């Protein structure tokens, strides 16, 4: 549906009555600004002079009540709705594939409260995550969610994709850090999950909406736990002979102590991106590791880590490279480190248990490198007692000039890489979300269980207006 003609002018006026005329736009320049995120395909299409999918109308609400009124209008007229935060997603999760209304929520950026006694902070979800972290820092605390996109992603975007930050090995994913959320349902009702995240008062609705990618409703407020800033934070770097040895060492470390950061890079990424960012030029599998907390506890943890690293023949590289990596961690997300056109690239992140994770790595590597001229790089950056995540990329320096051929190749590499992960005990995504890119693989991942998600979608969003073509729904 396009916002032109007699009827659609009336719809636009209804929207303007809610948010103000200045906060509704049908300008082509504005539409193009919301037509691409970090997903390679729309960026490539624009780069080659094509036109990606566009919203019909951009609406900028300032409160949950305004979101509610907009959704009631959209539901009545059966207009598709996509929610936009910082546009930092890599899977096309916010792209307006069905046109309709695009809700830019960044006017909803208020801090609501900070409670140090109970250890929480509450805000609206249009707030940039870096801003939320600064508010906590002012009180001597941290949300402990520091993703690479920290300076541009919104709180709502991080929640919608169940994102993760670099400190996850100690503090967990964002679903471990969020305590409760306010949600506007597709029919406009405003609800709140229970005020605590752990209970036996029926199924936990919090987990229903976190990671739902705007397909079941729009989260408008969120409460997070906060943790006192660490007394010390110390960085270390190691070099293993190969990725397999590094996997085994890291598994033993995380099953013994709790580092906040543990990133193990395969040789291909060690000699490319790591070299580019911190100047490290040795071959092998590079590990940067951070330990933080109380001085005495950190010192004890470091002893265990050094013992385990020595056991696996690691070369200790001191603190310099670890500190340099931490200082430049956000640089990875911006030019000239981030991959840009004309290069073709894709990010395939998957999680598996320790008995499967190495098989997943080698299977994905084999599947992707079977394509001529394709480079495969990978690291494991989020570790748990039971398993870890593989963050893999494929890169083609000179992709096909023909747009259709380029998209077909991009999809084929993704299909083979992800299916190799599924076949070896992995899942289709760890923390970037499903979005548009992986929707077609959801049923392969979930099997018959997919009917549960489909049933929830049908019940909460019977008109199918919320973020169409995403999450396999």
pLDDT score for 190: 98
Which neighbouring-strand residues pair with 287?
Answer: 238, 264
Q: Hey, how many other C-beta atoms are within 10 angstroms of the C-beta on 448?
A: 7
CA dihedral 213, 216, 217, 222 (to 10 degrees): -60
CA gap 414, 200 in Å, rounded: 39
From first CA to last CA, the distance across the chain in angstroms is 20
pLDDT of residue 189: 98
How many Cα atoms occupy the beta-carbon half-sphere of 306 within 13 Å? 12
User: What one-character-per-residue DSSP string does 319-376 give?
Assistant: SHHHHHHHHTGGGGGSTTTS--TTSEEEEEEEEEEHHHHHHHHHHHHHHHHTSTT-EE
Number of Cβ within 10 Å of residue 228's Cβ equals 14
Q: Helix (H, G, I), strand (E, B), or coil: what is residue 311?
A: helix
pLDDT of residue 148: 83
Encode pLDDT of 303-338 as tens digits: 999 999 999 999 999 998 888 888 877 665 554 445
Ramachandran angles phi, psi of 92, nearest 5° = 75, 25
Q: Supply the pLDDT for residue 335.
A: 47
Tell me the torsion sign for CA atoms 28, 41, 271, 333: positive
Peptide linkage before 419 cis (omega within 30 of 0): no
Phi and psi angles of residue 39, each rounded to the nearest 5 degrees, phi first = -75, 130
pTM of the model: 0.93
Task: Please list, in sequence order, all residues whose beta carbon lies within 8 angstroms of the beta carbon of residue 21, skipping any fewer than 6 positions away.
Answer: none
Domains of the chain: 6-104 (3.30.43.10), 111-228 (3.30.465.10), 232-333 (3.30.70.3450), 344-454 (3.30.300.330)
Letter string b/e over residues 144-173, b meaning 16 or more CB atoms within 10 A of that residue's CB: bbbbbbbbbbbbbbbbbbbbbbbbbbbbbb
Question: Would you say 368 and 413 are in contact if contact means Cβ atoms under 8 Å apart?
Answer: yes
For 220-237, give the secondary structure using H, E and C: EEEEEECEECCCEEEEEE
pLDDT digits (tens, 9 = 90+) for 40-49: 888 888 888 8
CA distances from 435 to 187, 212, 393, 469 (A): 22, 10, 17, 8
Which residues of the chain fall below pLDDT 70? Answer: 1-7, 273-278, 330-342
Nearest by Cα to 224 from 289, 295, 184, 165: 165
């Amino acid at each position: 549906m396009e916002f032109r003609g007699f009827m659609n002018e009336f719809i636009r006026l209804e929207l303007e009555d809610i948010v103000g005329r200045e906060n509704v736009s049908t300008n082509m320049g504005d539409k193009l600004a919301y037509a691409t995120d970090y997903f390679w395909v729309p960026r490539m299409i624009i780069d080659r002079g094509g036109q990606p999918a566009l919203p019909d109308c951009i609406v900028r609400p300032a409160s949950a009540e305004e979101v509610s009124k907009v959704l009631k209008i959209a539901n009545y007229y059966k207009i598709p709705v996509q929610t936009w935060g910082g546009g930092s997603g890599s899977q096309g999760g916010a792209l307006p594939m069905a046109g309709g209304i695009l809700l830019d929520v960044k006017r909803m950026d208020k801090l609501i409260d900070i409670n140090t006694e109970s250890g929480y902070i509450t805000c609206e979800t249009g707030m940039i995550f870096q801003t939320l972290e600064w508010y906590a820092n002012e009180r001597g605390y941290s949300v402990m969610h520091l993703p690479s996109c920290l300076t541009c992603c919104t709180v709502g975007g991080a929640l919608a994709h169940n994102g993760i930050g670099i400190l996850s090995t100690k503090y967990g994913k964002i679903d471990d850090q969020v305590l409760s959320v306010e949600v506007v349902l597709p029919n406009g009702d405003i609800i709140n999950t229970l005020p605590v995240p752990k209970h036996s008062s029926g199924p936990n609705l919090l987990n229903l909406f976190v990671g739902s990618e705007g397909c079941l409703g729009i989260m408008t407020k969120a409460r997070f736990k906060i943790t006192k800033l660490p007394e010390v934070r110390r960085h270390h770097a190691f070099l293993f002979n190969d990725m397999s040895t590094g996997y085994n060492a890291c598994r033993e470390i995380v099953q013994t102590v709790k580092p906040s950061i543990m990133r193990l890079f395969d040789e291909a990424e060690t000699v490319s991106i790591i070299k580019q960012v911190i100047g490290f030029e040795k071959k092998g599998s590079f590990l940067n590791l951070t330990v933080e907390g109380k001085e005495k506890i950190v010192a004890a943890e470091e002893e265990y880590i050094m013992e385990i690293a020595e056991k696996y023949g690691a070369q200790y590289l001191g603190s310099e490279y670890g500190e340099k990596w931490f200082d430049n961690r956000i640089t990875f997300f911006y030019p000239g480190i981030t991959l840009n056109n004309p290069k073709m690239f894709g990010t395939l992140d998957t999680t598996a248990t320790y008995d499967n994770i190495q098989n997943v790595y080698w299977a994905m590597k084999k599947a992707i490198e079977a394509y001529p001229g394709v480079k495969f790089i990978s690291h494991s950056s989020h570790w748990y007692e039971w398993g870890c995540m593989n963050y893999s990329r494929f890169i083609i320096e000179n992709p096909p000039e023909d747009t259709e051929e380029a998209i077909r190749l991009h999809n084929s590499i993704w299909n083979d890489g992800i299916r190799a992960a599924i076949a070896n005990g992995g899942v289709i995504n760890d923390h970037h979300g499903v979005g548009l890119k992986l929707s077609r693989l959801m049923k392969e991942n979930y099997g018959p269980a997919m009917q549960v998600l489909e049933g929830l979608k049908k019940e909460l969003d019977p008109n199918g207006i919320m973020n169409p073509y995403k999450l396999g729904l």
